[in-house]
């Protein structure tokens, strides 16, 4: 299976606390909920399309706990996101959780890179990471993420956790699709393209 990452980002690369004021206040973060004013029908339709090929999810502990507290309440059989999240296998990367009670959830401890590499060897279309910034950084550095969906919101916060913080593994990505919503969100799809290449600008 391929591994994809879908994440919401501000223009300055912050992924922390998009969904609400109390979602993630670590580090004194006071800007939670910055996504909400921009989530329109275009964005909803795009997210439905992202979830379509999912056959399982790899989630960090914090994202798992946020999802497990809300998505089981979604019982609409016509909601593709809720149906997928509630029914498909969920692998929770955590060294502190001992069990995961949400339907079809398994705690993955120890070497998460090795465990996710094994999951990718299984037949199927796509394993998906949603949010889970610290986990995404680990798997990015290991070169395990094949596809990236970056939803970039027209917001600058100046503080908060950044997906590509200093220290990430130098990498290049290939843009394969770009869309925009009526609210001004741009949805980029990239494929991993290996290490960067370099050149030199010359003035003739």
- Interval 68-98: pLDDT, tens: 999 999 989 999 999 999 999 999 999 888 8
Question: Total structural domains in the chain?
Answer: 1
Residue 200 is assigned to a structural domain of this protein: no
Residues 23-58 have pLDDT tens digits of 999 999 999 999 999 999 999 999 999 999 999 999
d(CA 115, CA 107): 11
Would strands 54-60 and 90-93 be described as parallel, antiparallel, or unpaired? Answer: parallel
Q: Is residue 139 part of a domain?
A: yes
Percent with pLDDT over 70 in the chain: 100
**Residue 45 pLDDT:** 96
204 assigned to some structural domain:
no
Has residue 184 been placed in a domain?
Answer: yes
CATH number at residue 64: 3.40.430.10
Per-residue confidence (pLDDT) for residue 110, from 0 to 100: 86
Domain limits at 141?
Answer: 2-192
Asked, for residue 202, whether it belongs to a domain, the answer is no
What proportion of the chain, given as a percentage, has pLDDT over 90? Answer: 94
Whole-angstrom Cα distance, residue 83 to residue 109? 26
**198 located within any domain:** no
Considering the domain boundaries, does residue 35 fall inside one? yes
Note whether residue 201 is domain-resident: no
Average pLDDT on 146-159 reads: 98
Closest CA to 59 of 110, 121, 124, 107: 107
């Amino acid at each position: 299976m391929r591994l994809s990452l879908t994440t919401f980002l501000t223009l300055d690369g912050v992924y922390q606390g998009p969904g609400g004021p109390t979602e993630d206040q670590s580090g004194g973060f006071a800007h939670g909920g910055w996504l909400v004013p921009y989530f329109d029908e275009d964005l909803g339709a795009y997210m439905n399309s992202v979830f379509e090929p999912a056959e399982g999810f790899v989630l960090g502990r914090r994202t798992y706990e946020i999802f497990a507290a809300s998505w089981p309440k979604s019982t609409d059989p016509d909601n593709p996101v809720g149906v997928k999240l509630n029914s498909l296998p969920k692998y929770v990367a955590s060294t502190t959780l001992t069990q995961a009670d949400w339907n079809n959830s398994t705690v993955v401890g120890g070497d998460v890179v090795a465990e996710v590499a094994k999951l990718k060897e299984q037949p199927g279309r796509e394993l998906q990471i949603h949010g889970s910034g610290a986990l995404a950084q680990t798997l990015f550095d290991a070169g395990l993420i094949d596809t990236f969906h970056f939803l970039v919101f027209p917001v600058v916060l100046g503080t908060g956790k950044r997906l590509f913080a200093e220290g990430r593994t130098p990498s290049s990505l290939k843009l394969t699709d770009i869309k925009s919503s009526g609210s001004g969100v741009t949805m980029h799809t990239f494929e991993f393209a290996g290490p960067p290449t370099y050149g030199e600008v010359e003035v003739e």
